[in-house]
Structure 1
């Protein structure tokens, strides 16, 4: 019964996307003129932009196939064909990604959303934020770069011992009393909802599906939150942390900043929310100077 229900729900979602796909393609086609693609305007054009057969010809696909795609019929589209249509319609990166999503093609060739390292320029920026913690995440919460203050607060070397550079893995696979986030039942649901907001653009991609499956198997709490289906964008908020070397809780305001040239990545910077938290961060920084971590 559950399988049948899930299949029915999936079919309804596909049906809901098709009209939106049709509207999107028609609107994008209408804004491209023949001159934009090097064609003569011709006479008696009733279409404000390109005709369907012109899009098909320029994209190297059959007229009937493109017509069916624009009509929202249930046909399959390959990444190569969508790339060609995207070039013809002069779609920018967000529009191209939206087309893939509506056409239910999971992986976009050339997508850089799975960036696994950052350049020296970005590393230099987050290093300059020290003594304030800063980290670079992608939408899966993979840890791409950190500064010394972030490592002071989160103990990243312990995270690296697992071989998994992912903050969700570090937070969900430790006992609740060892979790560095104090208000676990408030913060972790928000993080999972933020993860899901990115997951919609990557459904079916191996790296995403593997992470979700592994976390669901390792943490019943994560599995419960994931099943809720909640979605939320990243945003500023105050988080409360604990650290074994701190004599009091550490309240930090977090802010997410996008990074040009690193799609779907963000710098998350933390600043103390009060004087006591600032003092505790000074204590952690003092430990670093006494016993520098590698």
Structure 2
């Protein structure tokens, strides 16, 4: 975090305004400051206020930062903001999980509350959970590789979780002919899957494994390249999933996805048969 110069120094003049993402960051922070009441953070309402919400000085006090530095950040001036300072701002402004993620994206910083991207080991209890579920269940990592699955999932996902196939859900969907046969309304589901992965991967698009996966899929699948280029973004949704199973015929499931509290880069997916 950059400390503002002291009064009377030769650097008293603030940095010039910059019409860059810094401005978007400042606008976002200011909007959330203005919608937060003093009572919501345990402060007395005090005398009549000229501006809505909290004052800048109050937020700075809550964050433990200089009022001048906070003002410059809000004004979109080109001053640096550490991940720790951003985390304190997120807490002070009572941002939701999605708002906090957006804040860090605007600042091009990694949220210190996120799991370590180098932590490759999934919790053993999570991997063991799939064996306790009496329905198709599997665990995905941040590139959507299957880390664990049960027998029912292997029986359902022909060409993916059975045998010795590539365990990546996206590669299976877009490059395996068996997926087009299995998944009902493949075009719709595949487009949706690409949009969900775009939303899910935004925080680690610069990671080499994620970038490599996207590039290889775009080269191997015209459909993926087209869907990815569309810039569609969609949250991971559950709901009805239909399959044309080679042995069981048409089967219908209701899909639900869970994220562990401390490893939100992982997903436990369960399909309950209707």
* TM-score, structure 2 normalization: 0.69
1:128 corresponds to 2:137: no
Deviation, 1:184, is 2.4
Measure, in 2, the Cα distance between the counterparts of 1:264 and 1:81. 23
Partner of 1:263: 264
**Counterparts of 1:66-215 in structure 2 under 5 Å?**
66-73=70-77, 76-89=80-93, 93-101=97-105, 103-112=106-115, 116=120, 118-130=122-134, 132-138=135-141, 140-154=143-157, 155-156=160-161, 158=163, 162=166, 165-175=167-177, 180-215=182-217
Deviations 1:209-263 (A, max 9, x none): 33322322332221111111223331212221444xx2x5342313113244242
Map of 1:252 onto structure 2: 252
Contact 2:34 2:54 in 1 (8 A): no
Cα separation, 1, equivalents of 2:21 and 2:70: 22
1:111 deviation in Å?
0.7
Gaps of 5+ in 1: 1-10, 35-40, 274-294
- Whichever structure has more helix as a proportion of its residues is 1
CA RMSD, Structure 1 to Structure 2 (Å): 3.8
Normalising by structure 1, report the TM-score: 0.66
Give the total of aligned pairs: 249
Aligned equivalent of 1:33: 42
Matched residue SS, 1:237: strand
1:172-193 CA distances to partner (integer Å, 9 max, x unpaired)?
2334787643542232111112
The equivalent of 1:218 in structure 2 is 220
Distance 1:56 1:174, change over 3 A: same
- CA distances 1:252-286 after superposition (whole Å, capped 9, x unpaired): 3131132442425443222445xxxxxxxxxxxxx
Return 5+ residue gaps in structure 2 as ranges. 1-18
Counterpart secondary structure, 2:41: coil
Q: Secondary structure at the match of 1:263?
A: coil
Maintained 8 Å contact 1:106/1:202: no
Q: Is the 8 A contact 2:140 2:268 kept in 1?
A: yes
